[in-house]
Structure 1
């Protein structure tokens, strides 16, 4: 019951009930079972507190205090056995180490020690090759492997005294690792000196000590060759004359396993580079490889296998492609399908039309069989046009129009044209959880009239969303979709409908998780003719009624930024809400030195104080001082009031006079319910004119301008708080490097400006990378260089959006080039029934100029980012107890089943005290139909067939009309009514409209007589493939 309850205080009610039950049976053996449930409640509450966080209460301690008396008082009871298992779970011991995959020789490093219920840890460092370590530890238990590892040289041995709060929780602490010489090592961690075969905690793993680091990438322009760049791990400069041994992985059919075979031995050049070409075997597509690096006594053994493949792609090959346009996307059997095609010649660098080109266009059915074919030749614009008739027989479904170079799918179906659509109104006003929310909407015919008297069936389903989940190491809370309400209503004379629902939250999710609940509203509207159309919308509700935010960028340019920033105040569904409040900006006090990133989570225990840590590890994070939200607010630089109803913007006065640095903006307001609403934004104010960093940081990369036209320049800020940094800069186009240089930086920042050339259209990418203090810092940013030189502008000169059925119309359009110049262009235009989009949306698709978005050129999943955990073993340190599950008696039914579809519906099971009986059910009787409402029934009868109200009703609610009650209505003179004849769903399809001398196009047509909404599509192109759309 507790699991499925939706009560807000279900946990406290459950706990109170357990306590009352325990008092009732206190002193009896059965009370141990109740005590176990109470202890389990505390245990589960403790599990909800993430590692490193301080729980509200010492839940694990309280659980232990409940269990221990029960075990002592009632040792043989079932509840005591349950308590014993829970106690032993709380007493579980843990002690394990996480180290960096490679540490720098001659310098102390740090490791993360994770422990539970232990007060000391013995950490030993053993010098042993990685291959030998793997051989010893493979397929052996902890103690057997440890006995062999003891035979190797112990280079460091340290007993760590741990702070154990006796709270039965997992804790972490960073410990120093002694400086080592170049080589390969293993760590062994135990909970003390006394390690015996029958009682121990062991954790061991391997790592390396080397000053060599590397980055790698595959060069597609060099047929898939693999490039290594070998760098100094501490200082980041290239290493020359490093020996690189490359091993390929070959399968040994005798031993039935893969083996490493030496492929090449190479030396790095002055830039630390070495290039590995793939094997030249004709039948070989590639190989998995591993590399080993050596420089003097320094040796780095990589475990990561990379794939070396031969890139056989043909480059700069010219391809033909045909783009198709149709008048719409769905047709009935027998209707005419109009089409247009444009044939192009494409390669990586250019595109051109193919004029006077002959091709065959076919219509294919749902099975891919050719139905019809048209032989066409392109005109001077590279286009052709024609038509097919949709087949009257055979299977309906998705068909295809195409030639050898392109195609377009269409649908042929026996559909009924939609008469109306359903729209939901935006939800306005403020609301919170557990409040009633009004949903309104409208059923409207495509012809513009209202759909009255339609039945609306609605359904509301709740889901949960989490705007920002900062606890990335813990899974999102689970909240399955659940229906909140369903029901029916009727549209009024205006086609409008409305209903309410209560925004019930999922009480299983804590408020501290900051959940937003999404309520999906589905409405199915059925008109009096039986046609059903659906509407869908969502409403969001949370524990606050208003969302407040200030659109502040993460990085703010002191010289060139506008000092006006939008304030957004909306209800939870995104509709604007007026709000008054205050904005305050504080300058933040940043740390006085730069630190590199930590490779594991923040510890919750410390062996050193902050000062001692900084002296020993000046470039390492101590606690969380690298996080901007922990920095002290040094001074208030601005405070101002805002009122979004009067002005939805905030003005940052004297922005250009502020100093570079880190700032926090805090916007506060009070909603209509008296609840405080707050928005906090952290930002960095920087200057492109200064060399000094805004604050001390290991790495800063700011896109000052990352979108530019040819002739302009893109610009970026790059910098570091470390001394003597070598930044490797590259500019790439189509994943090939077109510019590169090395930029020296020392505790400063630089403005990097990149002139944009015409050939950069379609985007280029800037890559910056440096290695310092055993970390890699890398950024890739795409510079947007749009194809604005290929844009055509289409605009209506004359246009009417209200059309009369059967009337002639004429529209005029103007087509101009990127500089608003006159152009000679060809245009295809279509006007079709917009209601068909309810079945299959239609549009014109044409895109030939690629926008390339690059990822990083470098592979960085290697030793510069990895840690080692090792294997963990435990024996007899934390005894585990098991208790038998209780089975309750049940009646044996033989082969009888209550769940098979063929069982006798006259019987149903009734459960009582562990037994089941059958009880006879009465046969269901159809309830009498209730008498209709007199007003609504009379009105209905007067509208339909002229029937008078009758006192008799048919079974199931039907009305029996007696003959004498039928009134004959007077016949209507229909001789003057003109029958509509043109009900086409395509008003026009003009495939080859040409501009006149003024760059204008004229479209003349007669609108069909169907009462509906029409959708117009247009596409125009020039001979040099400028193009544009209109809709």
Structure 2
């Protein structure tokens, strides 16, 4: 633990404190030079003594920067020479804070808060496993605190660092040149000590890990004006019952910074804090069209500051947002977002032309370079047939032509190449190989600056192992964009059979599936001094099999299979199923789950949050951008509801489950699972809570059935009622409601749905009261998700949750759902998957309902088509069909008759043939249709 604290302090000093600057008095310069020499000589105790004398001198003369600097170096050296130093460092900082005055006190408060926070980040795994206590286990030892206590202390010291804000705003940062190492021109954007300390607080408030438990009145950034220009934003009243919300505190601090810098004659600092605020709100907001409003405000700012070079930073933010949206482009979803990168490029070019030497222009130049950068990657099958054409998939950006070289490579050369990690050395290695074949391929580039895919044919190959190299220019040069891969040309396949009691293998022909007799198979492992050697040769029988018993375990087995002129290598076999195959201790993953309370009533909403963390070498780090699947299980371990999330930049995700209003009460649980991304390591999480009636309920809440059919953008009204079990009405009860939206798709469309965001989103919330009859109404607009195309026929599910509290303080909860879409009717056809032609009177069930599942009479025509079968049996594609196919369908089928050209291997994409049956349908009269003459249908 002391090692980790030492590292934190060292990092802090080297990121904040510089060696004494030239404007310092010579006596300090010489003193610090002596300290540095003693440190380099490995004499920390002597260095500490000298730092103590510097501290006394600085204190006596009132040199504030030198006081702070000496305190930090005292802490650094104390960590090296003292027992329990990590605790002593914190205690010494607390003592200094108690005795020092403004502004040193403020700086030390910020340093202390940062040390607490860094300590948590290094040890989050331990904190997540600790149980919350009502009191500190040891108020003087921060290492024993629980998570909430450490968070609270960290936030408290950050807040104290901003005390006497008006005085901090008058402290120029230039006064602390001896203390700070600052980025170029940073004083323009953070000119005062207040700016520096306030932004350190904001860095803490922006993290997600503080808000692990959601109160019932959680503060949400749901007001469009939080993304408004400064005039509108500073007029907002920012308040909430959720007074500890980090989002709330951050917005208040942004407001204070904005009001402070609105008085500046130079707009640099104002624009910097405005852009930071807009970015923060965009990332945290829960209202619709966040990015649209964000870009509108940025364009307003661009116009406001058009004559000042700081405007180029606004240009850069607009271009960055467009570049980010361009990442959402998917050719399967049409043209949406395809040309956003081109727009971003034009905006960058305008900024550079306007103020070419500005900070924003430099950022735009870097973004422009990123957009224009060439990128290539190749994917191919590891094994291809002998003397037959094969193909590879090229993923590329900004490339019009590729040049390919193919080199035979021995197993020894292959192993040697895999030990080379330097680009130049790899190129030099490849230059020594003998070229076997060369060709090139023209790619389709429409200058949308997007990643695209195409398939390129690989010529026929003799049996052997090959390195395939491709680049954007001819020749071997490390400055070219290039990609490479390894493949083997062989007709042999080694199949491992899953039999527990013995090792059973079979060699078959790759093209025909026929067994290969009399093939020689050598199994050998690569050994080090800890491994057991294994080297045996077998010959396959008439059915291509060989087997052997093995009572020991071996790993990293390579199989060399030889039959006539064909030789192939297969690797990574293990000869004991119970052996743990992971030699090294790779990142262990875990999901920590938190709920907003430990006990709930039936029908209530469970708000939960998860943090995905990986652990290696006693250090923890959050797992970002990974899918997580979350299940709610009841007392019988039955899954009640399932949700899917993706972890954000802080490794977190959050959501809610609505508990069943009826059924068994008791211990419920939330289970989360996912993949860490580290060698397919799994991560799991678990949290349990009780579902009980706190006391016998005196009233119930219910929604009236929703019979009306609504359209997109309609005003939807749902009505509920609170009624006592004794029969009386519940009047003047407080009703707190929330409305959430989730996109859904009909089952028939599910297999071909585009990739959209399916996470639940809150669209409104509010309060009302019950009337004299115990009734209440909730109105909301059926706002769609405009990112989902109308053509995909989405159904938007609006889930309404209510908590009704009577005058005695008893609360009852329930929920209702309304489905709204661009269409008004759903038709469902149900039949057997397999129909026996010899049997008669097969029936098809046809039902028609509105989007809320209520029966609606409809007339139509039911038609059954025979699907056209492909000419050949098709194997599954090794990768998805490319955006741009370079081969015509005729050429493709000539080379690869058993592969799908696009997606014709998918049953749902088969072409319709002749109609074999049709009948009129009227669901008002009957929902059954009898199939006739099925015996005459072609199988």
Q: What TM-score do the two structures reach when normalised by structure 2?
A: 0.51
Residue 211 of structure 1 is matched in structure 2 by 491
2 CA distance for matches of 1:471 and 1:133?
41
- Secondary structure of the 1:133 match is helix
1:241 aligns with 2:518: yes
- Secondary structure of the 2:571 match is coil
Contact 2:407 2:436 in 1 (8 A): yes
Contact 1:6 1:506 in 2 (8 A): no
Residue 50 of structure 1 is matched in structure 2 by 330
- Secondary structure of the 1:261 match is coil
Unaligned residue ranges in structure 1 (runs of 5+): 254-258, 312-396, 399-410, 661-686, 688-1031
Report 1 or 2 for greater relative contact order, CA contacts < 8 Å, sequence distance ≥ 6: 1
Q: Mark the CA change 1:266 to 1:30 in structure 2 (over 3 Å): closer, same or farther.
A: same
Residue 716 of structure 2 is matched in structure 1 by 436
1:59 aligns with 2:337: no
Residue 646 of structure 1 is matched in structure 2 by 925
The structure 2 residue matched to 1:500, chosen from 778, 802, 814, is 778
The structure 1 residue matched to 2:537, chosen from 245, 265, 269, is 265
Q: Mark the CA change 1:473 to 1:450 in structure 2 (over 3 Å): closer, same or farther.
A: closer
Contact 1:90 1:168 in 2 (8 A): yes
1:137 aligns with 2:409: no
How many angstroms does 1:104 deviate by? 0.9
Where is the helix percentage greater, Structure 1 or Structure 2?
2
Contact 2:722 2:770 in 1 (8 A): no
How many angstroms does 1:599 deviate by? 0.6
Residue 815 of structure 1 is matched in structure 2 by none
Residue 904 of structure 1 is matched in structure 2 by none
How many angstroms does 1:302 deviate by? 1.9
Q: Mark the CA change 1:516 to 1:250 in structure 2 (over 3 Å): closer, same or farther.
A: farther
- Secondary structure of the 2:417 match is helix
Residue 503 of structure 2 is matched in structure 1 by 226
- Secondary structure of the 2:498 match is strand
Contact 1:462 1:517 in 2 (8 A): no
1 CA distance for matches of 2:400 and 2:421?
28
1:578 aligns with 2:850: no
Residue 461 of structure 2 is matched in structure 1 by 180
The structure 2 residue matched to 1:607, chosen from 886, 893, 901, is 886
Cα shift readout 1:83-132 (whole Å, capped 9, x = no counterpart): 32232122110122211111111211111122221222111111113453
The structure 2 residue matched to 1:551, chosen from 830, 849, 852, is 830
The structure 2 residue matched to 1:165, chosen from 434, 446, 452, is 446
2 CA distance for matches of 1:32 and 1:561?
76
Contact 2:286 2:762 in 1 (8 A): no
- Secondary structure of the 1:239 match is coil
How many angstroms does 1:472 deviate by? 9.5
Q: Mark the CA change 1:651 to 1:568 in structure 2 (over 3 Å): closer, same or farther.
A: same
**Structure 1 segment 307-706 matched on structure 2, within 5 A:** 308-309=576-577, 424=703, 426-434=705-713, 435-440=715-720, 445=725, 450=727, 452-453=729-730, 455=733, 457-467=735-745, 476-477=756-757, 479=759, 481-482=761-762, 484-487=764-767, 489-490=769-770, 497-502=775-780, 504-505=782-783, 507=785, 509-511=787-789, 516-524=795-803, 533-552=812-831, 555-560=834-839, 562-628=841-907, 630-636=909-915, 640-652=919-931, 654-658=933-937, 660=938, 687=939
- Secondary structure of the 1:602 match is coil
2 CA distance for matches of 1:163 and 1:502?
48
2 CA distance for matches of 1:510 and 1:38?
23
Contact 1:246 1:292 in 2 (8 A): yes
- Secondary structure of the 2:436 match is strand
2 CA distance for matches of 1:471 and 1:168?
29
- Secondary structure of the 2:393 match is strand
Q: Mark the CA change 1:152 to 1:195 in structure 2 (over 3 Å): closer, same or farther.
A: closer
Q: Mark the CA change 1:129 to 1:541 in structure 2 (over 3 Å): closer, same or farther.
A: farther
1:299 aligns with 2:576: no
Contact 1:452 1:491 in 2 (8 A): no
Contact 1:137 1:145 in 2 (8 A): no
How many angstroms does 1:146 deviate by? 1.9
Contact 1:243 1:293 in 2 (8 A): yes
How many angstroms does 1:267 deviate by? 2.5
Q: Mark the CA change 1:656 to 1:168 in structure 2 (over 3 Å): closer, same or farther.
A: same
1 CA distance for matches of 2:691 and 2:918?
64
Q: Mark the CA change 1:175 to 1:473 in structure 2 (over 3 Å): closer, same or farther.
A: farther
1 CA distance for matches of 2:744 and 2:833?
22
Contact 1:479 1:506 in 2 (8 A): no
Contact 1:456 1:491 in 2 (8 A): no
Contact 1:130 1:206 in 2 (8 A): no
Contact 1:420 1:533 in 2 (8 A): yes
1 CA distance for matches of 2:694 and 2:368?
68
Cα shift readout 1:5-40 (whole Å, capped 9, x = no counterpart): 777666666656666665677677555445445544
Contact 1:130 1:185 in 2 (8 A): no
- Secondary structure of the 1:83 match is helix
How many angstroms does 1:234 deviate by? 0.6
1 CA distance for matches of 2:692 and 2:702?
25
The structure 2 residue matched to 1:107, chosen from 383, 388, 400, is 388
Contact 1:106 1:181 in 2 (8 A): yes
Contact 1:120 1:159 in 2 (8 A): yes
Cα shift readout 1:717-773 (whole Å, capped 9, x = no counterpart): xxxxxxxxxxxxxxxxxxxxxxxxxxxxxxxxxxxxxxxxxxxxxxxxxxxxxxxxx
Contact 1:212 1:298 in 2 (8 A): yes
Alpha-carbon RMSD: 4.1
Q: Mark the CA change 1:229 to 1:474 in structure 2 (over 3 Å): closer, same or farther.
A: farther
Q: What TM-score do the two structures reach when normalised by structure 1?
A: 0.47
- Secondary structure of the 1:575 match is coil
- Secondary structure of the 1:174 match is strand
Q: Mark the CA change 1:70 to 1:460 in structure 2 (over 3 Å): closer, same or farther.
A: closer
Cα shift readout 1:934-967 (whole Å, capped 9, x = no counterpart): xxxxxxxxxxxxxxxxxxxxxxxxxxxxxxxxxx
1 CA distance for matches of 2:366 and 2:524?
52
1 CA distance for matches of 2:751 and 2:415?
35
The structure 1 residue matched to 2:409, chosen from 115, 128, 152, is 128
